[in-house]
């Protein structure tokens, strides 16, 4: 079982203006002469905590991480206008050009896997490899499973807390009901909804619940960006057309070396999505971790991801 690499600080960080409204925070860590890799975080709206750096050998990788529009240290905070999947795909390219990187490996989990697929299918010539985890393709059946009915049968106790901010007569469409509150002009209404939304995901992300994760997701600043941006993307169907776009366009990336890591008991992004991607893209290595849920920090997923980054560093 592989352990994380030691903590380290970035050797470069800054802001990149990507539109008249948004500027994104980025950092580089590891070896400035190493193989470039970009990490696309989850959410959308999750940001990049420092421990993400520890999944990559600091002697071999030049790791680029950035907070996507509206979250983490990017500015303005929790902002929804000019915040779409294709805006983010463009941001990745702007950052690559800003850092004078010709090609890089792309690493993404959960929503990060969605964005990795969208980016690589748009710019396959810029991708030397893909490391994907907890596959999410933002289709309606995936959204309904987690936010309307499905995961509630496995976590009824956490679900009870999730539905509390929503009146009974609005619970037949939880996504719309939450969007109404997360975009309310009343800050207290927004915050109550944001914390409930975020804690629901934290409560279901691991095979064995993690109280510290629930606390982190419940912090006001994190919760507001995470919940507002997620709900914004989901209500807009990920800005994908058609909704199976990411599977239908697999031929564009079939030639790129790739690995897919999936927890068997992932409730947030159930294994069916990873399986459907695997069946469409059998050239990609497919790893099922038998004793894990969704979180990249669970031991089996952590180990599989570090093995993958070590292997790709040698290509």
Q: What is the pLDDT of residues 58-75, one digit of tens each?
A: 999 999 999 999 999 999
Mean pLDDT for the stretch of residues 91-95? 98
Question: With bands split at pLDDT 50, 70 and 90, how would you rate the model's confidence at 112?
Answer: very high
Whether residue 110 lies in the annotated active site: yes
Catalytic residue among 25, 41, 232, 294: 294
Q: Percent of the chain scored above 70 by pLDDT? A: 100
**Helix 220-235 vs helix 187-204: angle between axes, to the nearest 10 degrees?**
80
State pTM to two decimals: 0.98
pLDDT digits (tens, 9 = 90+) for 171-182: 999 999 999 999
**Model confidence pLDDT, tens digit, residues 181-221:** 999 999 999 999 999 999 999 999 999 989 999 999 999 99
Is 116 a residue whose pLDDT tops 90?
A: yes
Annotated active-site residue in 29, 74, 110, 113: 110
pLDDT band at 132 (very low <50, low <70, confident <90, very high): very high
Active site annotation includes 244: no
Catalytic residue among 74, 203, 266, 295: 266
pLDDT for 215-261, tens place per residue?
A: 999 999 999 999 999 999 999 999 999 999 999 999 999 999 999 99
Q: At residue 315, does pLDDT exceed 90?
A: no
- Per-residue pLDDT, 26: 98
**Mean pLDDT, residues 93-122:** 98
Residue 266 catalytic?
yes
In this prediction, what percent of the chain has a pLDDT beyond 90? Answer: 99
């Amino acid at each position: 079982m592989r352990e994380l690499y030691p903590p380290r600080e970035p050797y470069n960080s800054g802001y990149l203006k990507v539109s008249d409204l948004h500027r994104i925070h980025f950092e580089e860590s590891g070896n400035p002469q190493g193989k470039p890799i970009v990490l696309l975080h989850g959410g959308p709206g999750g940001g990049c905590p420092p421990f993400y750096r520890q999944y990559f050998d600091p002697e071999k990788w030049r790791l680029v991480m950035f907070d996507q529009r509206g979250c983490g240290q990017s500015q303005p905070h929790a902002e929804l206008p000019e915040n779409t999947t294709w805006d983010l795909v463009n941001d990745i390219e702007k950052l690559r050009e800003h850092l004078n990187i010709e090609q890089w490996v792309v690493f993404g989990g959960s929503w990060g896997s969605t964005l990795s697929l969208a980016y690589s299918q748009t710019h396959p010539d810029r991708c030397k490899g893909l490391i994907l985890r907890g596959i999410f393709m933002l289709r309606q059946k995936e959204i309904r499973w987690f936010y309307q009915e499905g995961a509630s049968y496995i976590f009824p106790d956490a679900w009870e807390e999730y539905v509390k901010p929503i009146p009974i007569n609005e619970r037949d469409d939880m996504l719309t009901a939450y969007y109404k509150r997360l975009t309310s002009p009343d800050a207290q209404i927004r915050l109550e909804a944001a914390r409930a939304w975020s804690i629901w995901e934290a409560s279901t992300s691991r095979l064995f619940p993690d109280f510290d994760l629930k606390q982190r997701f419940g912090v006001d600043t994190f919760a507001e960006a995470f919940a507002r941006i997620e709900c914004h993307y989901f209500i807009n169907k990920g800005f994908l057309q058609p909704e199976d776009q990411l599977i239908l366009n697999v031929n564009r990336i079939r030639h790129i070396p790739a690995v897919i890591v999936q927890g068997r008991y992932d409730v947030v992004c159930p294994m069916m999505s990873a399986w459907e991607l695997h069946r469409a893209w059998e050239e990609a290595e497919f790893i099922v971790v038998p004793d894990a849920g969704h979180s990249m920090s669970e031991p089996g997923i952590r180990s599989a991801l570090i093995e993958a980054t070590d292997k790709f560093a040698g290509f």
